[in-house]
Amino acid sequence: MDGYKGFLGLLVSSLLVGFLSVIFTLIWVLHYREGLGWDGTALEFNWHPVLMVTGFVFIQGIAIIVYRLPWTWKCSKLLMKSIHAGLHTVAAILVIIALVSVFDFHNALSIPNMYSLHSWVGLTVVILYILQLLLGIFIFLLPWAPLSLRAFVMPMHVYSGLLIFGTVIAAVLMGVTEKLFFALSGYSKFPPEGVFTNTLGLLIVVYGALIFWIVTRPQWQRPKEPNS
Ligand code: ASC
């Protein structure tokens, strides 16, 4: 177990930064904004950042690195695949609720949908995420696909997964920026909400950087079993 201590340190750091991102998002909407609700007002919109950061950033990041946890290497591959797919499924459900909240809010206030770059990148990556999840379940989790097909698709699955995760982070940063320009009249005057929310954006970038580092270290990959 090469570099186990280093792995633990990075794992704990990434979980802390990811969790802190969720807490910061909650403080943002509960303290600086109007709070949470489900009534077509800004309270309903506020679920959008909370659920996106929780599901699309934090939970997706954990789902990406589950195979890297050395103490799971003795667990069955099928169990680990189920946890990987299960966490991505939970994230996808939160993401869909987050989308409903923003469309609901727009429609209630007759705000146009899908005009911003944030919404184009965001919706594209949601569609890709759901496709990636369904393809992953059918090709890797269910027992029908032949090994040759799995081996062929695996590099694309890994590449797409990381591309999606990175693009989600870009979309979140655009969304945060967009919201601050809408909501703050004096963003350029360094108001506390602006500084706090810029910090949230940086935390999310650091979380992405840590997850990307963990998942790309060859020594922390689950040892490959023959015929799997
Ligand atoms: C799987 C699985 C793997 C890969 C491999 C293809 O379903 O458990 O380790 O696909 O077979 O590279």
98-112: pLDDT as tens digits: 999 999 999 999 999
What does the pLDDT read at residue 17?
A: 98
Residue 63 alpha carbon to ligand 1 centre in Å:
17
Average pLDDT, the chain: 96
Residue with CA closest to ligand 1 atom 12: 151
Q: Would the pLDDT of 225 be above 90? A: no
Q: What is the pTM of this model?
A: 0.96
Residue 14 alpha carbon to ligand 1 centre in Å:
26
Pair of tokens at residue 10: 């990075």
Q: Would the pLDDT of 21 be above 80? A: yes
**Closest Cα to residue 52, out of 211, 210, 201?**
201
Find out whether the beta carbon of 56 lies less than 6 Å from any atom of ligand 1.
no
Q: Are 88 and 203 in contact (CB under 8 A)?
A: no
Residues 188, 192, 198: CA angle, nearest 5 degrees: 70
Cα separation of 117 and 174, whole Å? Answer: 8
Residues listed for the chain? 228
Question: CA-CA distances (angstroms) from residue 161 to 10, 18, 41, 85?
Answer: 20, 18, 34, 12
Find out whether the beta carbon of 228 lies less than 6 Å from any atom of ligand 1.
yes
Give the pLDDT mean for 78-106.
98
Q: Would the pLDDT of 187 be above 70? A: yes
Residue 2: pLDDT band with limits 50, 70, 90? low
Helices (H), 109-191: 117-136, 147-183
Question: CA-CA distances (angstroms) from residue 209 to 3, 126, 167?
Answer: 19, 21, 13
Residue with CA closest to ligand 1 atom 11: 228
